[in-house]
Amino acid sequence: MRKDASEVTAHPVLIFWIIAGWAGYLLLPWYGIEDGFFRFEWLVDGWPLEDDYAPAAVLVGRGEKLWLAPLVPALVAPLLVIRKRKIDPAYSVVLILSGAFGFSWLIAQGFGIGIRGFNYDWLTALFGELGDRQFGMGYGALLVASSFLFLFTQGIAARGAINGDVFVVSAIGGVIVIVATFVFFPIAKMLIFAFITEDGGYSATVFLSKFFDDRLWGLGCLWGARCGAAWNSLFLAVLVGFLTTVLGLAFALVVTRSGFRAKRVVRALTVLPIITPPFVIGLALILLFGLSGSVTQFVAELLGVQPTRWLYGLPGVLIAQTLAFTPIAFLVLIGVVEGVSPSMEEAAQTLRANRWQTFRTVSLPLMRPGLANAFLLGFIESMADFGNPLVLGGNFDVLSTEIFFAIVGAQYDQGRAAVLAMVLLFFTLSAFYLQRAWLGRKSYTTVTGKGDAGVHPLMPKRLAVPVFLVAGAWGAFTIVVYGMIVYGSFVELWGVNDSLTFKHYVTAFAVAVNENGIHWRGAAWDSFWTTIYIAAVAAPLTAAVGLVTAYLLTRQSFAGKNAFEFGTMLSFAIPGTVIGVSYILAFNVPPIEITGTGIILVVSFIFRNMPVGVRAGIASMSQIDRSLDESSLTLGANSWQTFRRVILPLLRPAILAALVFSFVRAMTAISAVIFLVSAEYDMATSYIIGRVENNDYGLAIAYSTTLIFVMLAAVGLLQLLVGKTQIGRRTQFGGGG
Amino acid sequence: MADTRIRSKAAPVSFRGVSKVFGKDVVAVDNIDLEVTAGKLVTLLGPSGCGKTTTLRMIAGLEMASSGRILIGDKDVTQLPATDRDVSMVFQSYALFPHMTVLENVSYGLGFSGFPRAEARDRARAGLDLVGLKGYDDRLPSELSGGQQQRVAVARALVLEPQVLLFDEPLSNLDAKLRRQVREDIRAIQQELGLTVVYVTHDQEEALAVSDEIVVMRNAAIAQIGTPRELYDAPVDRFVADFIGEANIIPCEIVAVDGESAEIAVDGYRHRLPSRGMPPGPATLAVRPSRLRIGVENGFRATIRKATYVGVRMEYSVEAPFGEVFVVQDDVQNPLAPGEDIRLGFAATGPVLIPQG
């Protein structure tokens, strides 16, 4: 009954992409449309003849944009092999050649010809002045590019790559192209900017002078002046990494190695960093320790001293980051502490080690890689953090905020921003590389698939006392800080007028009902709905890209898989500010011109949060036995059908988790967003930062509190849904009918 | 209603010089030739790491041969992926889809074979009937016992009427009592429908019990192919002799060859057995523990070192001049004690000459 694919001569996937390519060339507007990607007024506004909306075929037919003409043969050639068999050598050769030629021509003309004609002098020298110009790519170009890409991958598959599996080869090709476009291309473009002189030439001395700037590497703080931003960032990140690791370990020990009752509460801590916009902790600290903060005022009155601005600078940023990132360290370390096999510890005890000796000689050494991992995570997070230094940094310059001021400040120096971003990227990538290269090999995970019946011993006394003290104090502090956030949102004007009020909420979220329906009057609604909209668009795309990547990484083997994995996880180590700078440098000119649109925000979220989806996918896919895929394949399903009918349904909890987390992360993000927002697309976080800069703390805090509760609701809903899917079951045939 | 009886479309499988290399230099299967006759149950047997599972997965199309050709029926399938081969497989872990009911699992493959939904359902029901799971349609795999899951996996593979049905250690997750029954069921269905089955196991008793033919593999190559009887009675070498039922390897001297039969001497003890084409001179003998006889008058001298009572028989470790031998005796009433001196001889049939090495 089974059909033999090698005999088939009508390939639906091939036909689909050929039609798509032709539709892109003949029908859809070739260039980007000013109104926006999701506006369709052009359909009734002179399309297809109006120049702005014309398809490539119309433009070429009129003798304009003639450089689009060479795409035609690449679109025609695949038509010749539609009736051929896959094993026919001509089939793969034609597809590979036309796909590769079409795709590279598209890219070459896109970069070669810009808004002012030829982009490069040598092109002008070669062909003479071009009396024409072109804009960013639109629907047509996008569709034609995808068509060429997937024609190419089908050609590769027909040559027998990955058992001739079209779906897998296409997925690999697709992921590589989008990651290259939206991660590597902008970073590369940014690096080039570091070498550009003011008059547009390239020069290494420009780079060197910016690189060896005193503001970057100065060591003035050793004798009382100011240190460079690079040293500040490094010093801060090391401190934060160390502190969060120690505190995280203390919490992890309390939860796993003590008789402490309220363990669930401590575990709930781990949700906090997910749902807290990064600068909110800084705001709460200002309410406590700022010039007019409660604690500052209280102490000043008690001791009769002048309140100071001690918080602004290293101390404030350090406290805020430690508060914000301790839960991350805890999350890592709880797995590590639980991962130490109880039977190892029991073995040590039967060998006459007492509890303290067991902890010191067995448990702690086994946790060492986990501790290093937690340290590096804290390091990377601190380096990349933008919100807290912006709010609390004062004169303490760190790289992430310096980048911001280099771009948006009075100096407006793209080259300097690029150099700073390179330094920051160097630090985080080194930490990322260390984490993978060094820790990847040294896994001491002692948990095996087999049940380990032992019980973790309790902490020894001399460890338990300090651990409880530290964890208790820090836990109480965290609760106070979060309490301040909620309380602060109801206070009229902190430190001046302490009366309680709903004023801030009204200003932000007032709603009026009139004859036209609901009127969103509050100042925050615009950015709130934009945020929800952008986050809701980005979340499913992030989850999809992440899960497909995870599928390729866990289920397929192909040449260059390690590089593929490194490339896809890389965006985790790229700080948001770097992404932000590189995006505005790369995407404000054709061929991809999306600065100021909602798309650039969506795209930045997809690639900032993709590692989250990839990790969720990898974690749950490695729970699904490979034999399930294989049995589906031997039962006649192809890999796409297997992915859709076996893997996806089993991944439902992971999909939900990826959806919710990318949604929530998109709502809390600030570092990349602040570069990419525009008047039309303002996001909640950048709006709040704007309020903070205007010293409008009440509104900022009220808005933050609302965001925290919205996200708490999202996470809670996820818990409910995931709980349900475990008992949910589908019956295709009904009750025996 | 369409005829939903399951038929066989049994086809032969043939391997021509097939090798499989993982990475750069890990040779999992080294240039093997193999013919599986249509309608026969052939077992791939060998210690772990011998390449038997890789061989099976190459038939399924889950691994692609690095070189050589694989034919199913008269068609070259070397380059075809699993999806496009007319082969189905029962996995060691059963690999039932946990999110589908029993009936959905069994009709899964039928959906891709172009059957309309109603017919797929009827065929799936017929398959479940065949393995004795009528009425379990709406259960989830997690609601079934191990043996039942196993049978669902068999039904799921059977309903596709594959040219070749593959089993990868299908009994290893079952308890000892169930194993005997399931293996008999598998054999019964195979014979009734006349299926071509390739079966992987590392358990020699299982292999002897179910197979028409056994392929013993060692170090990525085939050591011997034969019927269970041939392998047991006439192993080609020491490895096969020892792997299929234990064997004592005893050095001996062929003193005279007389056509098909030879006379050998072991420490002065004389015995006649088939010569298997070997010339006079030093040789090696493989003797099953049960084919050694204690108390043979002119046998060679030996001393009991250990005696173990295991219920149905006695097991002795015996020290002979050429080394230790392992002897099994059915007489449990009069056990011998360690230290006793005895004379050992061979049963009339059983011992075989094997090439030296």
B225-247 pLDDT, tens per residue?
999 998 988 888 889 988 888 88
Ramachandran angles phi, psi of A590, nearest 5° = -60, 160
B321-352 pLDDT, tens per residue?
888 999 998 888 888 999 999 999 998 888 88
Lowest mean pLDDT among A129-138, A148-157, A624-633: A129-138
Measure the CA–CA gap between A397 and A229, rounded to whole angstroms.
5
Residues of B in contact with A2 (CB under 8 A): 84, 86, 112-113, 160
The confidence score (pLDDT) of residue B12 equals 94
Q: Given pLDDT bands bounded at 50, 70 and 90, which one contains residue B67?
A: very high
Query: What CATH class does B13-238 carry?
Result: alpha beta
Residue A162 has pLDDT above 60, yes or no: yes
A253-272 pLDDT, tens per residue?
888 888 777 777 777 777 77
Query: Are residues B86 and A2, on separate chains, in Cβ contact within 8 Å?
Result: yes
Q: Choose the mutation target among B57, B77, B94, B99 for the interface with A, i.e. most A CBs under 10 Å.
A: B99
Q: Choose the mutation target among A631, A642, A655, A731 for the interface with B, i.e. most B CBs under 10 Å.
A: A631
Burial of B331 (0-12, 13-18, 19+ CB in 10 A): exposed
**In chain B, where the domains are located:** 13-238, 246-354
A507-533 pLDDT, tens per residue?
888 887 877 777 777 888 888 999 999
Asked whether the whole model's pTM tops 0.90, one would answer no
CA nearest neighbour of A110 among A124, A120, A97: A120
Q: Using only C-alpha atoms, what is the Rg of chain B?
A: 25
Residue type, A5: A
Mean of pLDDT values over A146-164: 86
Residue B52: partners with Cβ closer than 8 Å, 6 or more residues away = B44, B45, B46, B200, B202, B215, B217
Min Cα distance B113 → chain A (Å) is 5
The confidence score (pLDDT) of residue A20 equals 92
Check the CA dihedral B99-B100-B105-B111 and report its sign: negative
B262-296 pLDDT, tens per residue?
999 988 899 999 888 888 888 889 998 988 999 88
B307-327 pLDDT, tens per residue?
999 888 999 999 998 889 999
Query: Are residues B89 and A634, on separate chains, in Cβ contact within 8 Å?
Result: yes
Query: Are residues B84 and A160, on separate chains, in Cβ contact within 8 Å?
Result: no
Question: How far is C-alpha B116 from the chain's CA centre?
Answer: 38
Look over chain A and give the mean of its residue pLDDT values, rounded to a whole number. Answer: 82
Q: Given pLDDT bands bounded at 50, 70 and 90, which one contains residue A176?
A: very high
**Do the strands B221-226 and A491-493 form a parallel or antiparallel pair, or are they unpaired?**
unpaired
The confidence score (pLDDT) of residue A518 equals 77
CATH number of B246-354: 2.40.50.140
Tell me the domains of chain A and their CATH numbers.
Answer: 12-159 (no CATH), 215-485 (1.10.3720.10), 519-725 (1.10.3720.10)
Exposure of A371 in the CB half-sphere (CA atoms within 13 A): 14
B131-184 pLDDT, tens per residue?
999 999 999 988 899 889 999 999 999 999 999 999 999 888 888 888 898 899
The residue among A23 and A217 whose pLDDT is bigger is A23
Query: Are residues A632 and B138, on separate chains, in Cβ contact within 8 Å?
Result: no
Residue A1 has pLDDT above 60, yes or no: no
Q: 3-state DSSP call for residue A556?
A: coil
Which of the given ranges, A151-165, A494-508, B184-198, has the highest pLDDT on average? B184-198
Mean of pLDDT values over A28-38: 76
Q: Given pLDDT bands bounded at 50, 70 and 90, which one contains residue A50?
A: confident
The confidence score (pLDDT) of residue A724 equals 56
Lowest mean pLDDT among A66-70, A511-515, B59-63, B212-216: A511-515
Q: Given pLDDT bands bounded at 50, 70 and 90, which one contains residue A439?
A: low
Residue A440 has pLDDT above 70, yes or no: no
Q: Shortest CB distance from B109 goes to which of A160, A165, A636?
A: A636
Interface of A with B (CB under 8 A): 1-6, 87, 160, 163-165, 625, 627-628, 630-639, 641, 645-646, 649-650, 729-733, 735-736
Query: Are residues A636 and B121, on separate chains, in Cβ contact within 8 Å?
Result: no
Residue A448 has pLDDT above 50, yes or no: no
Mean of pLDDT values over A380-390: 89
The confidence score (pLDDT) of residue B156 equals 92
Measure the CA–CA gap between A110 and A121, rounded to whole angstroms.
15
Mean of pLDDT values over B66-82: 90
- DSSP string across B178-190: HHHHHHHHHHHHH
Q: By the CB < 8 Å criterion, does B101 face chain A?
A: yes
CA nearest neighbour of B30 among B55, B12, B61: B55
